[in-house]
């Protein structure tokens, strides 16, 4: 059934650790960007020119995009941490829904996958 070798598990652990480190840095960067976007450059401007509506729209879009990216990165970071826990618990590589082995190519592409492809489709559809 589930016969993942120690070396293979360590490879996935290393890959997940690298992803976590990279995302942690990106989360901090996007968090800073989102917070700085609230103040905006226009508020610190020395010019008396009124702020153009298009500039305000761009600032709002940039802020929303930063918050959206931050939210996605935080979700991915949480999934990575959960995958690392599954390695510790000895359940890494098993579908949480059907308990079957998740195919290696899926794990190689998405090492924090919780479900096999079939169960992932069912979960997304809510069935």
DSSP 94: B
Q: C-alpha distances in angstroms, 104 versus 19, 107, 116?
A: 18, 5, 10
pLDDT in tens, 27-67: 666 566 666 655 544 444 444 555 555 555 566 666 676 66
What is the mean pLDDT of the segment spanning 110-127?
92
pLDDT for 72 equals 85
- Assigned fold of 6-43+52-125: 1.20.120
pLDDT greater at residue 40 or residue 21: 21
Q: Would you report the helix, strand and coil content of the chain in percent, each value rounded to 5?
A: 70, 0, 30
What is the mean pLDDT of the segment spanning 88-94?
95
pLDDT greater at residue 110 or residue 29: 110
Burial 47-76, CB ≥16 within 10 A → b, else e: eeeeeeeeeeeebeeebeebbebbeebeeb
pLDDT for 20 equals 92
Give the C-alpha separation, 13 to 2, whole Å. 17
pTM of the model: 0.64
Question: Tokens in use for 123?
Answer: 């979960």
């Amino acid at each position: 059934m589930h016969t993942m070798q120690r070396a293979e598990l360590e490879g996935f652990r290393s890959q997940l650790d690298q992803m976590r480190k990279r995302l942690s840095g990106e989360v901090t960067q996007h968090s800073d960007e989102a917070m700085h976007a609230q103040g905006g450059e226009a508020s610190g401007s020395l010019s008396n020119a009124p702020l153009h509506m298009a500039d305000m729209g761009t600032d709002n879009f940039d802020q929303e995009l930063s918050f959206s990216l931050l939210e996605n990165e935080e979700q991915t970071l949480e999934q990575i941490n959960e995958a690392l826990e599954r390695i510790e618990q000895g359940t890494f590589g098993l579908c949480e829904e059907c308990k079957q082995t998740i195919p290696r190519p899926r794990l190689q592409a998405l090492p924090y996958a919780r479900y096999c492809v079939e169960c992932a489709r069912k979960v997304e559809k809510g069935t």
